[in-house]
Amino acid sequence: MKVAARFLLVLLVAVLSTSCFTQPDCVVTASMEIKIDFKQNKLNSRSNTRSVVDTFLRFQSIKISIAGKDSLFSLDTIPRSSLALPIDPNQSTMKYTFVRRGRQASSPLVTESITFTYSNETRIISAQCGAFVYFLNLNVTESSYGSQFKILNDRLLKNTTNVQILF
């Protein structure tokens, strides 16, 4: 009797678990934004060690250049430690120009720029889900930040930081 009950239990679990996999998973993790985090190297005077912490910057405006056309976005001057910048899915290059205040509120305006290239890849998840475009191979081709940036993830995905800029 116990053997038959165990067999039925295993059979029931097998049937239920296979029925869960008949529908495709249409979760899309692709994003059309480049997320940039702004960080600062801080020196702990007691332990004489360095750590990377968020730094908050006050942006006046962001200019986005796409294929010779510019769009200017004015921002409130609320300090931000990260930005999510849109990309054009029809282009492979984007240039962003930031106008911001220095770290102090009375600091003069600073203009900085960074240019990204990326490629796209279309993936068909299933017939029910359709096709989705993923953006990958993110690269910096030009930057006024010198070598003070790091690409953390070269794929544009939701809830993922792509670039870290150090100040």
Residue 16, in any domain of the structure: no
* One-letter amino acid of 13: V
Residue 13, in any domain of the structure: no
Q: Report the C-alpha gap between 11 and 75 in whole angstroms.
A: 60
Residue 52, in any domain of the structure: yes
> Which CATH number belongs to the domain containing residue 116 in this structure?
2.60.40
CB atoms within 10 A of CB 97: 17
Residue 85, in any domain of the structure: yes
Residue 134, in any domain of the structure: yes
CB atoms within 10 A of CB 31: 19
What pLDDT, on the 0 to 100 scale, is given for residue 162?
97
Residue 154, in any domain of the structure: yes
Q: Report the C-alpha gap between 32 and 55 in whole angstroms.
A: 24
- How many independent structural domains does the chain possess? 1
Q: Report the C-alpha gap between 22 and 24 in whole angstroms.
A: 7
Classified as helix, coil or strand, 9 is helix
Residue 8, in any domain of the structure: no
What pLDDT, on the 0 to 100 scale, is given for residue 93?
94
Residue 69, in any domain of the structure: yes
The pair of three-digit structure tokens given for residue 13, joined into one six-digit string: 């679990």
Q: Print the domain residue range for 67.
A: 28-166
What pLDDT, on the 0 to 100 scale, is given for residue 100?
85
Is residue 12 over pLDDT 60? no
pLDDT tens for residues 47-70?
A: 778 788 888 888 888 888 877 777
The pair of three-digit structure tokens given for residue 120, joined into one six-digit string: 């796209």
Ramachandran bin of 67, using left for φ above 0, alpha for ψ from -120 to 50, beta for the remaining angles: left
pLDDT tens for residues 84-118?
A: 999 999 999 999 999 887 766 677 888 999 999 99
Is residue 16 over pLDDT 60? no
